[in-house]
Structure 1
């Protein structure tokens, strides 16, 4: 399954504190799983973005559906397909 990285911004005013934000992760994980995605990791960030999500998805359609689903939780995602650095050699050999 391809891996995706998603930088997320949380809508201002959507959550009053860190506990409220943390409370949605179980629901979000379950919502992603119903869209053939597996949330591997989630990190809270300091800086321009609020959260980094790493998830596996069966295909781009599933990743798109996951991004749309996250919007319901007040989370705007910028999702990108990610390739592990160990795969770079294989990509060069394949000519891609």
Structure 2
């Protein structure tokens, strides 16, 4: 399954840390309902507050995952990711 990374921005009214922590279980369940797997969630410094790494079948399911996350009052930007090791085989064909 393809891997996706989702940068997550916490919007103003969701700054309650305890409430936010409880939402990750619901987000994991939503990803699993879509046939995906949540690999890692990181708190990050910078423009975004969290980085979520997950696998799902295709870009349609990745879009649905972003909607699951946004239903919790979070803003997302989702991208497909490739292992660095795979970069060599991808550029060999160029």
| Aligned mates of 1:90, 1:33 — CA distance in 2 | 30
The list of structure 1 runs, each at least 4 consecutive aligned residues, that deviate by more than 3 angstroms after superposition, is none
TM-score by length of 2: 0.92
1:15 is displaced (CA, Å) by 3.6
Structure 2, unpaired ranges of 5+: none
CA distance in 2, matches of 1:44, 1:19: 14
Alpha-carbon shift at residue 69 of structure 1 (Å): 1.3
- Structure 1 unaligned spans of 5+: none
Q: CA RMSD in A?
A: 1.2
Match of 1:69 in 2: 68
Larger helix proportion of the pair: 2
> Distance between the aligned counterparts of 1:78 and 1:89, measured in 2?
26
The alignment of Structure 1 onto Structure 2 pairs a total of residues equal to 94
Q: Does 1:50 align with 2:43?
A: no
Q: Hey, what does 2:7 align to over in structure 1?
A: 7
Deviation of 1:19 (Å): 2.1
- Residue 9 of structure 1 aligns to a residue whose secondary structure is strand
Q: Secondary structure at the match of 1:24?
A: helix
